[in-house]
Amino acid sequence: MSTIKSVGVIGAGTMGLGIAQVCATAGYPTFIFDADKNVVEKALQAIEKNLDKGIEKGKLDSSQKTATLEKLQFVEELEQLKADLIIEAIIERLEIKQQVFRILEKVNSPYSILATNTSSIPITQIASSLKNPERVIGLHFFNPAHIMKLVEVISGATTDQSVVDQIVLFTKTIGKVPVLAADSPGFIVNRVARHFYVESLKVLEEGVSDIEGIDRLVEATGFKMGPFRLMDLIGVDTNLSVTKSMFNAFHQDSKFRPSRIQQQKVDAGHHGRKTGRGFYKY
């Protein structure tokens, strides 16, 4: 039986707000922290917009929207984030994730579960600097988190089996489908999908086709979105960060080489839909 009664979410960006929304809709008191107050305000607006779309599509009613918003609470300091389960959804940098978890470990119960939404960094590495590494687990949602059903549950080398069991049960209570994965760079989905992006960028670099042509061809084969439309949705900067992490994790294996075209987009601030421009203009 799961002992999770409350949830904390670190990071109110695209992934964090989606995760928080899902947890609150499932009835969990959900506390959210983000160092950027502007991001917090935008997150609440985005959640309300998502809920309104859900009402329009008949997936929930106005009373469920109200109940969801009542379950959400933003906290101003990281040290105030206390819950049975804390889910980290911040930048893909090992040292920052470790620093955040060290702070949270001090202010939370030794029985609180610390979960990371990382898409590429090994769970064992993240847990290695903590006093209670057995409480750390990977809980990788997919974008958009309030819609996508799949969640990867990743055990680190020291993760306690009881933690795994609780998280599997928790994911089912929020309407998700858990898939167990071993602690390997990229886990299952990102390891397979990385080449969906990397090879598409290589085709573009070599001038084989243009952005729209590649997307149209891929979508014609049955994919809902081509690689460039999907990178814009995820965030070009986020996608590049994951590719760099995978590249380093596999000891600079050339098949994971980051693209200079993608790097140029990031340098220009063209991060996708969230900035109004990525590979496409919005």
Catalytic residue IDs: 119, 140, 152, 190
Report the distance separating Cα 95 and Cα 169, nearest Å: 30
How buried is 194 (Cβ within 10 angstroms: 0-12 exposed, 13-18 middle, 19+ buried)? buried
| Of the candidates 228, 255, 256, the residue with the CA atom closest to the CA atom of residue 242 | 256
- Quick check: bond before 29 cis, omega within 30? no
According to DSSP, the residues that pair with 74 across neighbouring strands are 32
Angle, alpha carbons 115-163-14 (nearest 5°)? 20
Count of other CB atoms within 10 angstroms of residue 57: 8
Count of helix runs (H) and strand runs (E) in the chain:
11, 8
Measured over all CA atoms, what is the biggest interatomic distance in the chain, rounded to whole angstroms? 55
